[in-house]
Chains A and B, each alone.
Chain A
């Protein structure tokens, strides 16, 4: 088979592994081209011929051969120059080149190989040698081609996954408060550092009625996409319309007690459902009186730092959500006074592991106890900074969330405010 006369076929062949190998023979001597064509024809190769360097480069671009057999000594562009030109062009760079020449000096072979040729055949041609070298290069070329193709597909898939993850992260970011609440009776701030772009921690605050807010924080087992999707589902359930935090059909008190909320969630999210469980802290704060009712479902106990510096831990509650009612959930009560600060966090902080071991509960407690009065955002930032410093900037292996709330109490003369 000889060079086709019709214009170029598409450069990417869908059936690259089954079509006959296409080989470009470049030699200024018609006799040599004829000889090589004859050898290759019997191998059922498709042979393209070029009588000089310029023609070779143009054919390489339009026909995308699987292999180039390239003479060195040619009038005009010599083989080395052609080789350099093919190597410099993105489109032809990956086509393997075998040099053909009467030159048998080692220095010439080395020069050819250094320019990027894959092999070398010396004239006069030995039929068996030419075929063996051509076959092996075509095989390598085909394998590389399928690798490149697979690589391309993987890159496309990775890119799709990346953008999906970024979209998921945006959705998840909408589950936490957009901005610090504008409440007069308390101030609240937070830091949230997921260990991948999305995570299994979530928290939010919900205005339950005129003067009561519900605040929850939960940590779904595992992390990454599956955990993040559970946070989306649970967050939906915990919206004011979700039917869990409040009971619109109840006569009298419609706001559910924290322990009742945990029981409902435990019912709604049995471990078998998503193969996930979660720990959770939920509290209802009466912003006028400071009365705080809470239930802690195996979540790290929030630390209450009283205005006088003493520490209390909100640990009343029960086991993880998803166990199916094996243990009762108890309610805890405490009253906040102006100047008290409450810190909610996930286990990603205490369990953060750096070169020197775990960050640890003690270290966290020391930080919370020592946090100077002032902006609650600063208190959150200081904890996260201290974790980063401890780990020398190493990325966390679990999601890290901390929320700080300072109770201010009701200012006189404004009975309605929250």
Chain B
């Protein structure tokens, strides 16, 4: 799994370089996110702009990450494509997650 991270103040920006966040990648992804949280990251921007498809396992991994962070407001998702956004909407998670178009907007939301 290819993932890249950047720190902006206390916010960790995680960019996933996988076209599919599905059952093959979900466990690794969840473990990586778990690792960031265990290492002290409390606010995370998840950049999904390179992801073209998320299945139920992938969605589960994102939800787990959000729940591990504790407060829903501490996870901001940016750049989901139309297909991924459709999934968020179907699961009504668009009402729970903060979802924006760009990384800059995400950082603004988190007031960095």
Contact = CB atoms under 8 A, between A and B. Distances in A.
Interface of A: 219, 221-223, 271-272, 275-277, 279, 298, 300, 318-320, 322-324, 326-327, 347, 398
A320 B91 contact: yes
A279 B55 CA distance: 13
Nearest to B60: A221
A219 B57 CA distance: 12
Contact of B72 (A221, A300, A320, A326): A326
B48 interface: no
A300 B67 CA distance: 24
Given A271-B63, A271-B67, A326 B96 contact: yes
Interface residues of B, number: 16
Interface string B51-64: 00001110110011
A298 B92 contact: yes
Contacts of B93: 319-320
A318 B63 CA distance: 15
Contact of A319 (B56, B57, B95): B95
Interface in B78-112: 90-93, 95-96
Closest 8 CB pairs of A and B: A221-B56, A319-B92, A298-B91, A222-B57, A221-B60, A320-B91, A298-B92, A326-B96
30 contacts: A221-B57, A221-B60, A222-B57, A222-B60, A271-B60, A271-B63, A272-B64, A272-B67, A275-B60, A277-B56, A277-B59, A277-B63, A279-B91, A298-B91, A300-B90, A318-B92, A319-B91, A319-B93, A319-B95, A319-B96, A320-B63, A320-B91, A320-B92, A320-B93, A323-B63, A323-B67, A324-B67, A326-B72, A326-B96, A347-B90
Nearest to B89: A298
Contacts of A221: 56-57, 59-60
Interface string B17-54: 00000010000000000000000000000000000000
Contact of A271 (B23, B64, B96): B64
A298 to B, nearest CB: 4
A319 B64 CA distance: 15
A398 B92 CA distance: 21
Contacts of A279: 91
B23 A222 contact: yes
A275 B55 CA distance: 15
Nearest to A279: B91
B60 A276 contact: yes
Contact of A327 (B23, B55, B56, B95): B95
Contacts of A275: 60, 64
B90 A298 contact: yes
A319 B96 CA distance: 9
A343 B7 CA distance: 49
Nearest to A297: B92
